[in-house]
Amino acid sequence: DAGITQSPRHKVTETGTPVTLRCHQTENHRYMYWYRQDPGHGLRLIHYSYGVKDTDKGEVSDGYSVSRSKTEDFLLTLESATSSQTSVYFCATTDSQETQYFGPGTRLLVL
């Protein structure tokens, strides 16, 4: 699992509140990713990072921002949570063999 942890694992919040999800890896992998998984859609890429302070948008980036100030940490922020952002969020990293490793996921419920 490439030593990937996500926190929190579960969160319930109200519409309009800010939410930050944290991804931490111990393998010193350069690339990190945030996905969301919803029924019928598989995984969709939100944002990704190709190095410290180097990030870019994925397929479904609206309403999300990210930051990476250290190699091991990749933060996903919902500036003002909406009910459509209720989902399961997965963090991932890629090793030198291009294999992606996934964290255990964060279940977010926005009421």
Q: From CA 66, how far away is CA 78, in angstroms rounded?
A: 9
Q: Which one of 16-24, 61-69, 73-81, 100-108 is the stretch in contact with other proteins (CB under 8 A)?
A: 100-108
What distances in angstroms separate CA 9 from CA 12, 21, 63, 91, 95, one per listed residue?
A: 11, 9, 20, 12, 24
Q: Which of 8, 28, 52, 59 binds other proteins (CB under 8 A)?
A: 59
Nearest of 66, 10, 81 to residue 33 by alpha carbon: 66
**∠ Cα 52 42 97 (to 5°):** 45
Q: Which one of 12-20, 56-64, 65-73, 75-83 is the stretch in contact with other proteins (CB under 8 A)?
A: 56-64
Binding mask 71-90 for other proteins (x = CB under 8 A): -------------------x
Residues at the site binding other proteins, with contacts judged by CB under 8 A: 1, 31, 33, 35, 40-45, 48, 50, 56, 58-59, 90, 92, 94, 97-105
